[in-house]
């Protein structure tokens, strides 16, 4: 094989890779847009208390749903209620139980900001700050982590874990401060 033949093959491979790169970049953008749409639907369905839209976001079968009070909130809960009444700082539930709990309030909203999406086309992780509002008042805030899987061409949430700070003890820092962490 001559040196010019090898150079020609190399150029052809390079051209094919360069042609494919915009497609790969477009796929990543499309995935992030689809995942952002999941987050938007999540928020909208909490406000509307639309269980059908909300449930459609989740994977069939087991979905992890758990949270924990941050240490300083748990200390305040123990001070306020006593150790036995304060209980564990951890709880688990389900997305269906979360939705059912919304019906006890006239107005609910789960607000998200400081979003970061990491995905490889098949699995994704979304980290965000959240604040939960009930009856037009913030009740708690913290960090929320969603894991998703692309199943049969559609993104589905497989787990939701989050930390909780109760607003009665600690105010949520401004976005600028949270972004600097």
Tens digit of each residue's pLDDT (9 = 90 or more) over 41-59: 999 999 999 999 999 999 9
Whether residue 9 is predicted with pLDDT greater than 80 in this model: the reply is no
The predicted structure's pLDDT at residue 109: 97
The predicted structure's pLDDT at residue 180: 85
The separation between CA 121 and the C-alpha centre of its own chain, rounded to angstroms, equals 16
Whether residue 36 is predicted with pLDDT greater than 80 in this model: the reply is yes
Beta-bridged to residue 148, according to DSSP, are 124, 157
CATH architecture of 3-179: Roll (3.10)
Mean pLDDT of all residues in the chain? 91
pLDDT single digits (tens) 128-181: 999 999 999 999 999 999 999 999 999 999 999 999 999 999 999 999 999 987
- CA max distance for the chain: 83
Rg for the chain (alpha carbons), in Å? 22
So where are the chain's domains?
3-179
The predicted structure's pLDDT at residue 115: 96
Closest CA to 46 of 116, 105, 124, 113: 105
157-172 burial, b if ≥16 CB within 10 A, otherwise e? bbbbebbbbbbebeeb
Q: How many C-beta atoms surround the C-beta of residue 96 within 10 A? A: 14
pLDDT single digits (tens) 85-99: 999 999 999 999 999
Lookup: tokens for 59: 């994977």
Are residues 71 and 86 in contact, defined by beta-carbon separation less than 8 angstroms? no
The predicted structure's pLDDT at residue 147: 98
């Amino acid at each position: 094989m001559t040196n010019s033949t090898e150079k020609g093959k190399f150029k052809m491979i390079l051209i094919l890779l360069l042609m494919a790169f915009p497609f790969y970049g477009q796929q990543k953008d499309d995935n992030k847009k689809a995942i952002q749409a999941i987050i938007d639907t999540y928020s909208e369905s909490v406000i509307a208390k639309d269980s059908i839209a909300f449930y459609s976001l989740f994977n069939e079968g087991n979905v992890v749903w758990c949270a924990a009070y941050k240490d300083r909130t748990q200390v305040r809960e123990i001070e306020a209620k006593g150790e036995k009444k304060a209980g564990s700082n951890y709880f688990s539930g389900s997305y269906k139980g979360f939705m059912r709990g919304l019906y006890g309030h006239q107005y609910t909203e789960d607000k998200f900001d400081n979003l970061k999406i990491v995905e490889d086309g098949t699995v994704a992780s979304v980290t965000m700050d959240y604040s939960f509002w009930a009856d037009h008042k913030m009740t708690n805030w913290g960090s929320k982590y969603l894991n998703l899987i692309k199943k049969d061409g559609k993104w589905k949430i497989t787990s939701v874990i989050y930390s909780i700070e109760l607003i009665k003890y600690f105010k949520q820092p401004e976005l600028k401060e949270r972004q600097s962490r």
